[in-house]
Amino acid sequence: PRNAVRAESGELTIAGVGVGELAETFGTPLFVLDEDDFRSRCRDMMTAFGPYGRVHYASKAFLCSEVARWVDQEGLSLDVCSGGELAIALHAGFPAERIALHGNNKSLDELDAALEAGVGHIVLDSMMEIERLDRLAGERGVVADVLIRVTVGVEAHTHEFIATAHEDQKFGFALSGGVAMEAVRRVFATDNLRLVGLHSHIGSQIFDMDGFELAAHRVLGLLHDVVDEFGVDKTSQMSIVDLGGGLGISYLPDERPLSIADVAETLAAIVRRESEAVGLPMPTIAVEPGRAIAGPGTITLYRVGTIKDVELGGGSVRRYVSVDGGMSDNIRTVLYQAEYDVRLVSRVSDADPVVSRVVGKHCESGDIVIKDCWLPGDLEPGDLIAVAATGAYCYSMSSRYNMAMRPAVVAVADGTARVILRRETLDDYLRLEVS
Nearer to ligand LLP, 336 or 401 (CB): 336
* Smallest separation (angstroms) from ligand LLP to the CB of 288: 4
CB 331 within 8 A of CB 343: no
Nearer to ligand LLP, 259 or 416 (CB): 259
3-class SS of residue 247: strand
DSSP string, 301-357: EEEEEEEEEEEEETTEEEEEEEES--TTT--HHHHH-----EEE-SS---SPEEEEE
- What is the Cα–Cα distance from 282 to 239, expressed in whole angstroms? 8
Enumerate the active-site residues: 363
Q: Which residues contact 67 (CB under 8 A, 6 or more apart)?
A: 33, 38, 59, 294, 420
Question: Is 118 assigned to a binding site?
Answer: no
- Residue 47's H or E segment, with its range, is helix 35-49
- What is the Cα–Cα distance from 88 to 79, expressed in whole angstroms? 12
**Contact residues: ligand LLP, CB under 6 A:** 58, 60-61, 79, 102, 162, 201, 204-205, 244-247, 288-292, 332, 336, 392-393, 397
* Smallest separation (angstroms) from ligand LLP to the CB of 242: 8
3-class SS of residue 295: coil
Nearer to ligand LLP, 247 or 375 (CB): 247
Question: Is 246 assigned to a binding site?
Answer: yes
Question: Is 291 assigned to a binding site?
Answer: yes
Question: Is 332 assigned to a binding site?
Answer: yes
Residue 146 sits at φ, ψ, to 5 deg, of -135, 155
Q: What value does the CA radius of gyration of the chain take, rounded to a whole number of Å?
A: 23
* Smallest separation (angstroms) from ligand LLP to the CB of 133: 17
Question: Is 135 assigned to a binding site?
Answer: no
Question: Is 288 assigned to a binding site?
Answer: yes
Nearer to ligand LLP, 29 or 245 (CB): 245
CB 120 within 8 A of CB 76: no
Nearer to ligand LLP, 56 or 361 (CB): 56
* Smallest separation (angstroms) from ligand LLP to the CB of 275: 22
* Smallest separation (angstroms) from ligand LLP to the CB of 256: 16
3-class SS of residue 86: helix
DSSP string, 270-284: HHHHHHHHTTPPPPE
Nearer to ligand LLP, 151 or 235 (CB): 151
Residue from 267, 131, 258, 145 nearest 197 by CA: 145
Question: Is 283 assigned to a binding site?
Answer: no
In sequence order, what are the beta bridge partners of 146?
122, 195
* Smallest separation (angstroms) from ligand LLP to the CB of 230: 26
Residues annotated in a binding site for pyridoxal 5'-phosphate:
246, 288-291, 393
Residues annotated in a binding site:
246, 288-291, 332, 336, 364, 393
Residues annotated in a binding site for substrate:
291, 332, 336, 364, 393
